[in-house]
Chain A
Amino acid sequence: MTNVNLHLVVPDPLAVPSPERNEPIMEIFGLAKRYGKNEVLRGVDLTLRPGRVTAVVGPNGSGKTTLIKALLGLVRPDSGQIRFNGTELAPNDIAYRARIGYMPQAPRFPDHLTGREILALLRDLRDASPESLDRSLLEAFRLDPELDKPLRTLSGGTRQKLNAVAAFLFRPDLVILDEPTAGLDPVASVALKDKVAARVADGVAGLLTSHIVSELEVLADDVVFLMEGQVRFAGSVTELKDAGDGRLDRAIVQLMTEKE
């Protein structure tokens, strides 16, 4: 607190926030989206803080994917506000996405490009220098020998590894992980979980969806339970566990089967 230099730094809206300042990396208020008559999101609030992983759980069709897509600008919300590092996002903002690592579920890459070309493309789009990259997952997965093969020849698990590497490569402030370990072998799955934990300890925020309860228990700090487009529960994993007599799976099942 005695560091004078801190006060001289001009605030940059996209800069990595220091972990001791607990200001949210992403905040959303009253997010709503409907497709025709189908109200997919009905006023969702969510706060993602540095150094914490928030798990979004809920039954299929509860709006999890639409929520993630709205945060990334893939889906245009009908109403609501999204703030990234304190700045409200306009509909055509793209710069903030350079600060997000996104790991989509079951990715498909262009058939005839190689993994190395995908990573180079992502780097070109951000003008990131080769020295600034975080290659640790590439090494942990021993992915290098696969990087020069056409992507159509790679297995689903290998493509998922590439997907994970890409999400962490640019040292993001926020990682969005959609079913991250689906399709990964146990070794890769552990390596990925270790990576998430390490980055979160450094102050990165995480948003996670998963149906694997043990994964939620290991990775998540907070849980947001989404049902029919509304947040039915928001709190820490510990709170939720206590509600289920110390068992997270039981608590989640209870939430899913609960009447309104």
Chain B
Amino acid sequence: MMDVVSNRSSALRLLSYELRDVLRGRWAIAYAAFFLLVTDAFFRFSGGGEQVVLSLVNVVLILIPLVSLVFGISYLYNAREFTELMLAQPVRRRDLFLALYGGLVLPLSLGFVAGVALPFAWHGAAAEHAGPLVRLLASGVLLTATFLALAILLATRFDDRVKGLGAALFVWLGLAVLYDGLVLLVAYTFSAYPLETPMLVMTALNPISLARVSLLLSMDIAALLGYTGAAFEQVFGGGFGSVLAFGTLLVWVLIPLALAFRRFSRKDF
């Protein structure tokens, strides 16, 4: 019992110093400011709240994975010597891992949530569009958590920072850009066959596709779904489909996080 209490406080102590470091670095603040400006601009130029959410979907799906990966992995490489110094102290690897991860997830998630939610509040659209807005924020936070977990995994896997950063960009390019083209190619090539199940599986295998499906399913705009989303809606319809998609998105946070933790625990620093 004592043991558990002291571990938790050790992780929290480390986390409080790491948060200070990240916040003073101003990157997280700039990130929040960016979402603030973009969301506000969408309100001024595109009118209704529903349309603003829709315009933000693509920004969220492309930008959050990229920033989480690149910011996360650069931060971790910069903290490499400090990580070694901390592990030479009476600190459990688990506690340091949680502090490193928390120190990245919290500022980036909060920056995104604040940057999007505040313009909705001051344009008086938050209450009316609460449903789509909350889904957008939840997807953004889950994507942040997923791609920061991937960032720790890659930073722990590759000691060389150029290789690590290269691998991160490769992962981003694959999941955010190339994947949908691949899905479309499969759909086109095998269009004579029933493809619902393979399409569902392929969607579940990419957190960005999953987030897109779960967001668009909730917004009643089938035309924008693309092939993967169409298959999803056909099978599951509205409510259940988006619950399932969010559940799978959560699995997408936990699996890279578990793999990263395993690697971090066993690593030779």
Residue on B with the closest CB to A69?
Answer: B269
Cβ A102 vs Cβ B13 within 8 A = no
Contacts of B79 in A (CB 8 A): 110
Cβ A102 vs Cβ B81 within 8 A = no
Given A69-B269, A75-B269, residue A124 in contact with residue B13 (CB < 8 A): yes
| Minimal beta-carbon separation of B78 from chain A (angstroms) | 7
Residue on B with the closest CB to A101?
Answer: B88
Cβ A73 vs Cβ B268 within 8 A = no
Cβ B21 vs Cβ A111 within 8 A = yes
Q: Name which of B89-97, B123-131, B144-152, B186-194 contacts chain A.
A: B89-97
CB of B104 within 8 Å of the partner chain: no
| Minimal beta-carbon separation of A252 from chain B (angstroms) | 27
Cβ B20 vs Cβ A117 within 8 A = yes
Residue on B with the closest CB to A105?
Answer: B81
CB of B17 within 8 Å of the partner chain: yes
CA distance A94 to B89 in the complex (A): 8
Question: What is the 8 Å Cβ interface bit string for chain A, positions 59-90, against chain B (1 contact, 0 not)?
Answer: 00000000001001111100000000000000
CB of B55 within 8 Å of the partner chain: no
| Minimal beta-carbon separation of B18 from chain A (angstroms) | 7
Cβ B89 vs Cβ A104 within 8 A = no
Cβ B82 vs Cβ A126 within 8 A = no
Cβ B13 vs Cβ A104 within 8 A = no
CB of A8 within 8 Å of the partner chain: no
Cβ A75 vs Cβ B14 within 8 A = no
Q: Which of A35, A75, A98, A112 contacts B21 (CB 8 A)?
A: A112
Q: Which of B21, B78, B86 has the most CB of A within 10 A?
A: B21
CB of B235 within 8 Å of the partner chain: no
How many residues of A are counted as interface, with CB atoms below 8 angstroms from the partner's CB atoms? 32
Q: Which of A35, A69, A73, A121 contacts B17 (CB 8 A)?
A: A121
CA distance A181 to B14 in the complex (A): 29
CA distance A136 to B266 in the complex (A): 37
Cβ A126 vs Cβ B18 within 8 A = no
Cβ B25 vs Cβ A69 within 8 A = no
CB of A213 within 8 Å of the partner chain: no
CB of B184 within 8 Å of the partner chain: no
Question: What is the 8 Å Cβ interface bit string for chain A, positions 31-70, against chain B (1 contact, 0 not)?
Answer: 0010100000000000000000000000000000000010
CB of A145 within 8 Å of the partner chain: no
Given A108-B78, A124-B13, residue A97 in contact with residue B89 (CB < 8 A): yes
Given A95-B90, A108-B78, A125-B90, residue A102 in contact with residue B85 (CB < 8 A): yes
Cβ A92 vs Cβ B92 within 8 A = yes
| Minimal beta-carbon separation of B11 from chain A (angstroms) | 11
CB of A100 within 8 Å of the partner chain: yes
Cβ B78 vs Cβ A72 within 8 A = no
CB of A113 within 8 Å of the partner chain: yes
Cβ B25 vs Cβ A121 within 8 A = no
Cβ A113 vs Cβ B89 within 8 A = no
CA distance A33 to B269 in the complex (A): 13
| Minimal beta-carbon separation of A85 from chain B (angstroms) | 14
CB of A141 within 8 Å of the partner chain: no
CA distance A76 to B90 in the complex (A): 16
Cβ B268 vs Cβ A75 within 8 A = yes
CA distance A94 to B80 in the complex (A): 19
Cβ B85 vs Cβ A94 within 8 A = no
Contacts of A107 in B (CB 8 A): 81-82, 85
Supply 14 A–B pairs (Cβ within 8 Å), ascending by A: A69-B268, A72-B88, A73-B87, A74-B87, A74-B269, A75-B269, A100-B88, A107-B81, A108-B78, A108-B81, A112-B25, A117-B17, A125-B90, A126-B89
Chain B residues engaging chain A, CB cutoff 8 angstroms = 10, 13-14, 17-18, 20-22, 24-25, 78-82, 84-92, 266, 268-269
Closest 6 CB pairs of A and B: A112-B24, A108-B81, A110-B21, A98-B90, A74-B269, A75-B268
Known contacts A33-B268, A35-B268; 8 further A-B pairs (Cβ under 8 A): A73-B87, A74-B268, A92-B92, A94-B90, A109-B82, A112-B21, A112-B25, A121-B17
